[in-house]
Structure 1
Amino acid sequence: MKDILTLLRRDSRFDTKLVNDLFFEGAYMDESSYRFILDNLVSWLYDRGENPDDFVERIVKRCADFEAVPARGVLRSYLPFISQFYQTKDVRALCLEIIPKRYPFLTHFSVLSDKVESGMRNMHISFRFETPGALVSNPIRWILGMFRVGPLLLNTPAYEQMDIIATQTSFIEALENRVPAEMRDGNVFVGDRLVGRTATFGDCLDELGFEWENKPEREVGCVLALEDVRDAKTNTLLLRKGCYYGTPSNILDVRFKANVITQEPFLKLMSSVVKQEFAAWQPIQKAQEQLLGAMSDSVEVIYYKSDDSISVNNKHLMRNVPARILRNLLREYMATGREEYENREFKRDPSICMDPLRPNFESRLNRVIAHINGTAEKDGAPGEGVKKFFEIERHRRGGFRFVPKCKIIFREE
């Protein structure tokens, strides 16, 4: 718990809503939230002297032991393909072939080659992100982890080898600000050490012996790593020798024993679903509640009828019409959990807008926001804001959003 809190306290955007969205199955998270979380996680690991690739390796191992995999969600993603897995002659090849259907954020998926020699299967697959870096600055370590987990979840051995040959990630992004590098005369140097040179995507394709339908993409410039580059502190592999960086598409080289099947590929996954539903959920729920409690203390908000005022943690915040607006908002939030509000709801309340022809609600709401933000003056000086506990966002015309950042205890006296 203490370790996780050091991550969450790096940035105020790690609020309770984001932590809940991470926790609850089916919660919506946009691309910017994913990038924020994963980029912060990588920086946090580096600050702790940990190798992010080792971190992903631990995740893969725990998923293989079904300790950290959301089994119900994973099983649901496999439902359209269950019959195929009972008919296939090679479970691990099928895991690769259905990648574009299980991960729709990957596009232009194709199998460039599929060969079997001496019982070993070698597949080259290509895929791309429409917007590279949208989900995370350097996505390859996470993508490789996701691909590698597939067979393990289906009661099948791991791939014997998986390497990235070309990546849309530029060499600058791949270095993750861990090593200073510069380009000189078409060559990439780390200090005085030559670590890469400029090339084209066509050079990569020719080296592999592949045709490419989009001819102009062959001329796209990229950087070929001439040797491995590692982070001195954590030994993280930043640039991989022989890999092309900044290419139009990603190319993966996967080698594994051919025609490996299992009679019951979904046995462990189904067992894990049952175990998680009936044995694991309560301690996970308890841990989530502890985490939220540790992230931020609760706040006590009191509306005093006698003088029409509101206090937050026993400190006066506002009175009169602004206090009534916040009171009405908190009444509804505590009763229903609602966070979205329409201006017209308050304009119809005669205790807030006495003149229906000139309600002037917007200026009154601005006053509430100023008190919350600490920009409203008290005795000629700005007051103390409470936005670390909750805020009001005017995110659209004719409405606003209440944003709680901790547990709110509200009562009226």
Structure 2
Amino acid sequence: MTYSVKDILSLVRRDARFDTKLVNDLFFEGTFIDENSHHFVFDNLVQWLYDRGENPDDFVERIVKRCADFEAVPARSVLRSYLPFVSQFYQTKDVRALCLEIIPKRYPFLINAGILRDTIQNDERTMYFTFQFETPGSLVSNPMRWALGLFRIGPLLLNTPAYEHMGYVATQTSFIEALENRVPAEMVDGNVYIGDKLVGRTTTFGECISEYGFEWPRASEREMGCVLALEDIRDAKTNSLLLRKGCYYGTPSNILDARFKANVVTQEPFLKLMSSVVKQEFDVWQPIQKAQEQLLGAMNDSVEVVYYKSDDSISVNSKHLMRNVPARILRNLLREYTATGREEYENREFKRDPSICMDPLRPNFESRLNRVIAHINGTEEKDGSVSEGVKKFFEIERHRRGGFRFLPKCKIIFREE
């Protein structure tokens, strides 16, 4: 609902594992997504957002809002998950506190989950909640933004205002995973540096426990090492917050803090949820179903590209396209694209390849790239006619100086023989 089918195609074509079965499994209620697929989907999604210049945290904010409006979550599934707790929500004095208290029962994949501290001062309630992933990073490399989004949705689904604040002070995610390959960092003598800037230091989980004065049931975990972030670190391109100052990374447990006005209740917490069950069947899911069908239809389109080593040529759907240096440029590009899903390229990468630019002093790569683009668009014949190109399958866009972008328009099956 946020992106066009064309946009989503650029995501699902990053990797061949995005097949129609997986896309269907992601869409339909009741289907099972294994851990490896879950990890693969979410990591690709995050990198796709970064490639587009979008902040993944802003993406989660949009998802939270859409879920609160029941535009992106099946109301029937939500209602089923709350059924064992319906009577508690009609009896509670604080809906938002109860949403946190029942998390261990609603999300059984969390272990050692529970409330560490619950205090009320001047009508403001502060709750610290802890939980562990049995295998950190098994579902997604950096899970905290998704966990925060998941927990924050709870009150919104029950016709109750959002938490005024929810964040985390400790996470099982290591500082390297939290940086998401956006910033190079190194550790020297127990200190973490980005360039010459000191951004973190090693410590133990016990320091975190002592700083907040928590009672901790598992004494052995206090001695486990972690990294304390000394600065906020943001991604230069998207302004995404990568490291949060004062947060402990690589800890044995996750610790979240929620601050909100105490004793907020609603007379009918399930009213909005119940009405959405009916509304979704007709108003919401039909356009989503249509978009899903369009996506699957587009995914089924494919083109076969073959590089032949014997005569240094490339064919597209068994039709000769180009040979020699232009063929090698396209070959190298497709090798990288089909392996990693990468679409942005620098000219200098190809200039360094002696099979493409034999004279490093006069590489003349730009003219060679122009020949590739001409073949893709359709080359002009001697009689003045233009041969059929292949730009309905893919294109190359020279969108900036010193670089270009590969634009796939369908699934590309590439091989060399």
User: Structure 1 length as normaliser, TM-score?
Assistant: 0.71
Give a deviation string over 1:104-163, Cα, whole Å, max 9, x none. Answer: 111101211100000000001110000000100000000000011110110000001111
Q: Which residue of 1 aligns with 2:312?
A: none
Cα contact 2:71–2:284 (8 A) shared by 1:
no
Q: Which residue of 2 aligns with 1:184?
A: 188
Local SS of the residue matching 2:93: coil
Work out whether 1:74 is the aligned partner of 2:78: yes
Q: Which residue of 2 aligns with 1:3?
A: 7
Local SS of the residue matching 1:233: coil
Q: Which residue of 1 aligns with 2:260?
A: 256
- Cα distance in 2, alignment partners of residues 291 and 166 from structure 1: 39
Work out whether 1:108 is the aligned partner of 2:104: no
Amino acid in structure 2 at the alignment position of 1:181? A
Q: Which residue of 2 aligns with 1:217?
A: 221
Amino acid in structure 1 at the alignment position of 2:256? L
Q: Which residue of 1 aligns with 2:197?
A: 193
- Cα distance in 1, alignment partners of residues 240 and 282 from structure 2: 39
Work out whether 1:15 is the aligned partner of 2:19: yes
Map 1:44-83 → 2, pairs under 5 A: 44-83=48-87
Local SS of the residue matching 2:228: strand
Amino acid in structure 1 at the alignment position of 2:211? E
Q: Which residue of 1 aligns with 2:99?
A: 95
Shift, 1:298, TM fit: 9.0
Local SS of the residue matching 2:66: helix
Work out whether 1:206 is the aligned partner of 2:210: yes
Work out whether 1:149 is the aligned partner of 2:153: yes
Aligned with residue 171 of structure 1, among 172, 175, 189: 175
Amino acid in structure 2 at the alignment position of 1:62? R
Local SS of the residue matching 1:125: strand
Local SS of the residue matching 2:183: coil
* Ranges in structure 2 where 5+ consecutive residues have no aligned partner: 304-316, 319-410, 412-417
Map 1:1-400 → 2, pairs under 5 A: 1-297=5-301
Amino acid in structure 2 at the alignment position of 1:190? I
Give a deviation string over 1:191-225, Cα, whole Å, max 9, x none. Answer: 00000000100000000001211111100000000
Local SS of the residue matching 1:263: coil
Shift, 1:69, TM fit: 1.8
- Cα distance in 1, alignment partners of residues 43 and 139 from structure 2: 9
- Cα distance in 1, alignment partners of residues 252 and 284 from structure 2: 43
Shift, 1:282, TM fit: 2.6
Local SS of the residue matching 2:129: strand
Give a deviation string over 1:300-342, Cα, whole Å, max 9, x none. Answer: xxxxxxxxxxxxx99xxxxxxxxxxxxxxxxxxxxxxxxxxxx
- Cα distance in 2, alignment partners of residues 284 and 239 from structure 1: 35
Amino acid in structure 1 at the alignment position of 2:97? A
User: Structure 2 length as normaliser, TM-score?
Assistant: 0.71
- Cα distance in 1, alignment partners of residues 282 and 276 from structure 2: 10
Local SS of the residue matching 1:68: coil
Amino acid in structure 2 at the alignment position of 1:67? E
Shift, 1:297, TM fit: 3.1
- Cα distance in 2, alignment partners of residues 297 and 193 from structure 1: 49
Shift, 1:103, TM fit: 1.1
Local SS of the residue matching 1:199: strand
- Cα distance in 2, alignment partners of residues 190 and 285 from structure 1: 46
Give a deviation string over 1:247-278, Cα, whole Å, max 9, x none. Answer: 00000111000000000001111111110123
Shift, 1:16, TM fit: 0.3
Local SS of the residue matching 1:241: coil
Q: Percent identity?
A: 79
Shift, 1:281, TM fit: 3.0
- Cα distance in 1, alignment partners of residues 167 and 197 from structure 2: 24
Q: Which residue of 1 aligns with 2:387?
A: none
Q: CA separation of 1:274/1:244 partners in 2, compared to 1, >3 Å: closer, same or farther? A: same
Give a deviation string over 1:361-383, Cα, whole Å, max 9, x none. Answer: xxxxxxxxxxxxxxxxxxxxxxx
